[in-house]
Structure 1
Amino acid sequence: MPSIKNTYKETLRLIADILSFKNSIEGLKLKLSSSTIDWDQFVTIASNHLVLPACYCRLSQKELLIYLPKDLVIYLKEITHINRNRNHSLMTQVTHITDIFNKNNINYTLLKGTALLAGNYFEDPGERMVGDIDILVELNEVNKSYGILLKEGYTDIEQTLGSKYFEHKHLPRLIPLKFIGAVEVHRKVLIQPYKGILNAEEILNSKKNVKNISIPNRQHLLEHSILNFQVNDFGYFYNSMSLRSLYDTMIIMKTLTTTDTGFLKLPFVKSYIAIGHLFFSDFNDVSSNTFRSQLFLKRMNNKFLKKITDILLKKSMLIKLICHRSFFFVKNKNYRIDIIKDYRRILSLLKSKF
């Protein structure tokens, strides 16, 4: 493949034009027809954002694959084929889990990628790259559902002290014996202290069924798509962007006739939409925070500034965590004993962070 140096922003714009449902197709055709695209950089960035199969599917749907180098088309087709087969296997696993939960009257709903696949939100099931199978379960049934999966041959991974003393949004990750997808049983959908913004009980109470599989309603799918990245993945804190998350959001927005205006006014959401505005005309009808978008552009255009601010933000987050754990260390005797026993590992971890 010919390699011509494009800026990071130019490549992001190209990927956005490919994924978008409203950006100009004629403009994209002109870009693809030119000889100034760094295809190696395109593959790297699209892979980092977990949208390489989505790019192939969208180019196919727009009938624009003929403008790509032939060896690249072959590569993208193969990657998408592998991902499509993996998703089919994951959905077979999902059906197995949900059948067991249904028989045991477990109140649950799928989340994130598997929920979107189960709800047939994608034109091609090969579009979405999925990691774990995330399942939200009613609080008083979390341990029961976890035990059921353990009896089905799943094994939990070894946990650190944090899991013993601090409540996470999900129980320890489960690794399957017969299937390919790890499973996370959630008691809530957002990390502390933001769990009240998106209430797990409300999601469960308004869920819908698709072929005996429970998934959130469209509004909750939209809210979780945005807040999972902004809150759980610290997108708001770092003022960053995920093309996979934005693509999920656009897919869901296409199916909504109205959106909760109160939700759209949240700072997390306005910041998310502001950055989406920079690359996708799909977000033009939604108000946003222009300061956050300008900050994103400054960081993107200045590698040194981005590197320094990322380092400072990571350090500040780590210091905040240490202060919180130090207070708990003083307060809780059992925690003190366990920390002292495990001090070598903790010191080694802190050394690697600083």
Structure 2
Amino acid sequence: MTNRELYKWIGICLAMDHRPDYRNRVLEQVVEGSIPWELFVSTCSNHLITPTIFLTFKKHDIVRHLPQGLMEYLAEVTQLNAARNEKIISQMAEITDALRSYRINPIFLKGSAHLIDQLYPEIAYRMVGDIDFLVREQDYLRSVQILSDIGYQCRCQVYGDPMNLKHYPRMWKENGAADIEIHRIPVSEKYAKWLNYQVIVSEMYSPIGNPDCFVLSDKHKIILNFIHSQLGHSGKTMGIVSYRDIYDLHLLMQRHGKPVSGVDSEFAGSAGSYFQIADHLLHLNDLKEYSIPLKRSLFFKIHQLNLSSRTFYLIYHGLRRTIIRIRAYSRILLGIVTSAELRKLVFDRLSHPPWIRKFPQW
């Protein structure tokens, strides 16, 4: 089984909830032993869907047909993830209580929001990296101080004015289940004109069972999913699609139940391609209505080449990252000439060797 075939098979596994007829296809390949399990585990781990896959297998009675060692591994990862997510939810409650005592209402974003908003059938399904939340710009640095007072510390040195950052550098707390990122704005400035605090707060709501917490509307969660996956993390440029992201997207689209509005016209085509390839990879429909335009899109072609050829993946990604780095350096060199603030920021970083690795993120 090639990498591309395995990638497609994982999509078929994730599709079993809405395509129960796929169970026999999945079971047949499991029983005949045609799945390269080490590569399967590595791919699921890289896409952060190991618990999702295990619980889907369990729901469709596939687990008992897996190799014993694999079954035990998947079960253990899922159990550990469930326990960690319980702690993350408690940590979110602690953060909410601390900030609300100062009349600050955090709005939780991305994976942590999905946990308390019951997007998944149970909390063990979703792997979460850190806790992202948004506050009003005037409450941004106050929030950093309030959480510092209850034990949170910054993981790295803060360069320049933190009011120029999308979010404060990652903070951690001893015995905390996850690091936190306090957002001044939900997305980079380039995209904040169409997804910002004012837009979000007009539709935010408190999830059932969590009256003191706020999350984005499903429409805004979908837009944030697209920006985060394809624009903020260069998925569009690199031809990368994360199964965790598109599975979130599928569940959000299903719950939202209507076409998504609010995407800036400049990026509407990119959003459409992303939504289509998500449907394609998760086998949500037969794609008769748009299979030709999808397969003609550059994004789809690069994605397929990434899966088919490790050599293409390494060369293409190396070139794209080099171009991104050159552009970042060029902007900084030009900025040094005109901006005293940027000159000071660069000189501050020169005293700390890892600074150069941060350039592309500016």
Misfit runs of 4+, over 4 Å: 283-288, 344-348
**What is the identity, as a one-letter code, of the residue corresponding to 1:110?**
F
Report the equivalent of 2:68.
70
The Cα offsets for residues 250-300 of structure 1, whole Å up to 9 and x where unpaired, read as 121221221325649713312322432442122667967431212321232
Report the equivalent of 2:172.
175
**What is the identity, as a one-letter code, of the residue corresponding to 1:279?**
L
Mapped partners of 2:324, 2:85: distance in 1: 35
Cα offset for 1:128?
0.8
Of residues 3, 10, 19, the one that matches 1:8 is: 3
Of residues 308, 319, 330, the one that matches 2:315 is: 308
Alignment of 1:256-275 (within 5 A): 256-261=256-261, 263=263, 266-275=268-277
Distance 1:204 1:69, change over 3 A: same
Cα offset for 1:67?
2.1
Report the equivalent of 2:12.
17
Is 1:281 the equivalent of 2:288?
Answer: no
Distance 1:91 1:344, change over 3 A: closer
Cα offset for 1:306?
2.0
Alignment of 1:111-122 (within 5 A): 111-122=109-120
> Contact 2:194/2:264 (CA < 8 Å) preserved in 1?
no
Q: CA RMSD in A?
A: 2.5
Aligned to 1:19, the other structure's residue is in SS state helix
Of residues 178, 183, 186, the one that matches 1:186 is: 183
Cα offset for 1:137?
0.8
Aligned to 2:107, the other structure's residue is in SS state strand
Alignment of 1:1-354 (within 5 A): 6-20=1-15, 21-23=17-19, 24-159=22-157, 161=159, 163-164=160-161, 167-210=164-207, 211-212=210-211, 213-261=213-261, 263=263, 266-282=268-284, 289-290=294-295, 291=297, 292-337=299-344, 339-340=346-347, 342-343=349-350, 349=356
> Contact 1:276/1:283 (CA < 8 Å) preserved in 2?
no
Aligned to 1:134, the other structure's residue is in SS state strand
Mapped partners of 1:231, 1:305: distance in 2: 21
Q: Which piece of structure 1 moves more, 128-137 or 206-215?
A: 206-215
> Contact 1:236/1:271 (CA < 8 Å) preserved in 2?
no
Mapped partners of 1:62, 1:277: distance in 2: 21
> Contact 1:278/1:293 (CA < 8 Å) preserved in 2?
no
Aligned to 2:322, the other structure's residue is in SS state helix
Mapped partners of 2:341, 2:225: distance in 1: 38
Cα offset for 1:150?
0.9
Mapped partners of 1:262, 1:55: distance in 2: 32
**What is the identity, as a one-letter code, of the residue corresponding to 1:255?**
R
Cα offset for 1:338?
5.1
Distance 1:296 1:338, change over 3 A: closer
Distance 1:221 1:348, change over 3 A: closer
> Contact 1:57/1:124 (CA < 8 Å) preserved in 2?
no
> Contact 1:169/1:187 (CA < 8 Å) preserved in 2?
yes
**What is the identity, as a one-letter code, of the residue corresponding to 1:189?**
P
> Contact 1:264/1:270 (CA < 8 Å) preserved in 2?
no
**What is the identity, as a one-letter code, of the residue corresponding to 1:194?**
Y
The Cα offsets for residues 148-207 of structure 1, whole Å up to 9 and x where unpaired, read as 11111111233354x548822101211113422111110112224222232232112211
Q: Which piece of structure 1 moves more, 331-340 or 239-248?
A: 331-340
Q: Which piece of structure 1 moves more, 222-231 or 288-297?
A: 288-297
> Contact 2:276/2:294 (CA < 8 Å) preserved in 1?
yes
**What is the identity, as a one-letter code, of the residue corresponding to 1:272?**
Y
Distance 1:90 1:284, change over 3 A: farther
**What is the identity, as a one-letter code, of the residue corresponding to 1:237?**
T
TM, length-normalised to structure 2: 0.87
Distance 1:337 1:185, change over 3 A: closer
Aligned to 2:327, the other structure's residue is in SS state helix
Mapped partners of 1:84, 1:174: distance in 2: 23
Cα offset for 1:341?
6.0
Q: Which runs of 5+ in 2 are unaligned?
A: none
Q: Which piece of structure 1 moves more, 188-197 or 108-117?
A: 188-197
Cα offset for 1:135?
0.5
Number of equivalences? 346
Q: Which piece of structure 1 moves more, 199-208 or 163-172?
A: 163-172
Cα offset for 1:31?
2.3
Aligned to 1:245, the other structure's residue is in SS state helix
Mapped partners of 1:284, 1:201: distance in 2: 38
Q: Which runs of 5+ in 1 are unaligned?
A: 1-5
TM, length-normalised to structure 1: 0.89
> Contact 1:11/1:42 (CA < 8 Å) preserved in 2?
yes
> Contact 1:219/1:259 (CA < 8 Å) preserved in 2?
no
**What is the identity, as a one-letter code, of the residue corresponding to 2:203?**
S
Q: What percent identity do the matched residue pairs reach?
A: 22
> Contact 1:138/1:204 (CA < 8 Å) preserved in 2?
no
